[in-house]
Amino acid sequence: MKKKFSIAERYAVWKSLGPICRWCKTPVGYADCHIDHIIPEKLLEDEEVLKSIVKKYKLNKTFQINSFYNWIPVHPSCNLSKQDQVIEGAPIFLELFQEVKRKIPATLKIYNNWNNQSKTAKITTLIEREAAKGLIDKKTVSRIFAAINDTLEPVVGLTGSTIDNKLFYVPSTEVWSIICTENDFYKMQKEDMVGVTPIDPAAHPECLCTNCKNYGPWDGNKCLVCGNYSFD
């Protein structure tokens, strides 16, 4: 059975080793990215050949085909053209293994942060689902994923918006810029408007605007997204 990649796995490989296709060396957006195996999954059925290749490339004896040590971001067409081929001793494969190994710490950090994030840009199945429906175009999906902050801290200067009441950050001149953090809130600005929105919406349900369903930003009792007053 072929490996089914989670969003966290796919994103971590693309973000740490991309955004270029590792076969043709040209850019690949997140929305168009496939994850390929350097050593094909098919060799799980041929233990002797697999052992030979692992030895040839001087890989660790604990090497696993389905692991970050064997995954790379590629174009769908490049993935299909490569198919199940692997040439023992070929420089391109040796180069790939070395690069993937070098990037492992970054890849694992992104993967772990993605699974643990709550206060920063964690875009998960929501974006994938909306894109699958055709409600978000591929270019926008790739831009959002490229802009995700992979640390656990907010980045001053990125802009905040909401999807289903979940805060995320993308570069834009049209939405709110984060100025700083104040206790449990982000202080945000848009043109001459300044307001606050909770870092963790779940901790401040009272900040949910009953009109536009966003968590502000709020200027006192006024939602600066739609102009609704909390006491209306």
| Closest CA relative to residue 79, chosen from 1, 20, 22 | 22
Segments forming the whole domain that contains residue 103: 7-116
> CA-to-CA distance for 205 and 123, rounded, in angstroms?
20
Please tell me the predicted confidence (pLDDT) of residue 172. 45
Residue 36 lies in a domain: yes
> CA-to-CA distance for 130 and 94, rounded, in angstroms?
38
Which one of 77, 93, 116 terminates a domain?
116
Please tell me the predicted confidence (pLDDT) of residue 67. 93
> CA-to-CA distance for 201 and 95, rounded, in angstroms?
45
Do 22 and 110 fall within a single domain? yes
Of 212 and 28, the structure prediction assigns the larger pLDDT to: 28
Which one of 74, 96, 116 terminates a domain?
116
Does position 60 have pLDDT exceeding 90, yes or no?
no
Do 135 and 99 fall within a single domain? no
Residue 1 lies in a domain: no
| Closest CA relative to residue 200, chosen from 156, 157, 152 | 152
Residue 2 lies in a domain: no
Residue 155 lies in a domain: yes
3-state secondary structure 49-95: HHHHHHHHCCCCCCCCCCCHHHEEEECHHHHHHHCCCCCCCCHHHHH
How confident is the model over 32-53, as a mean pLDDT?
88
Which one of 116, 133, 156 terminates a domain?
116
Does position 122 have pLDDT exceeding 70, yes or no?
no
- Looking at the structure of the chain, the number of domains it has is 2
Please tell me the predicted confidence (pLDDT) of residue 87. 58
Residue 50 lies in a domain: yes
Do 14 and 112 fall within a single domain? yes
Do 112 and 16 fall within a single domain? yes
Give per-residue pLDDT as tens, 166-210: 555 544 444 677 777 778 888 888 888 898 888 777 778 888 888
pTM beyond 0.85: no
Residue 230 lies in a domain: no
Do 12 and 109 fall within a single domain? yes
Do 29 and 112 fall within a single domain? yes
**Other beta carbons within 10 Å of 54:** 17
Do 75 and 129 fall within a single domain? no
Do 18 and 109 fall within a single domain? yes
Do 105 and 146 fall within a single domain? no
Residue 231 lies in a domain: no
Residue 28 lies in a domain: yes
Do 168 and 73 fall within a single domain? no
Do 107 and 141 fall within a single domain? no
**Other beta carbons within 10 Å of 49:** 14
Does position 143 have pLDDT exceeding 80, yes or no?
no
Please tell me the predicted confidence (pLDDT) of residue 72. 94
What is the three-class DSSP state of 160?
A: strand
The angle at the Cα of 74, spanning 48 to 166, to the nearest 5 degrees, equals 120
Do 15 and 111 fall within a single domain? yes
> Across the chain, what does the average pLDDT equal?
78
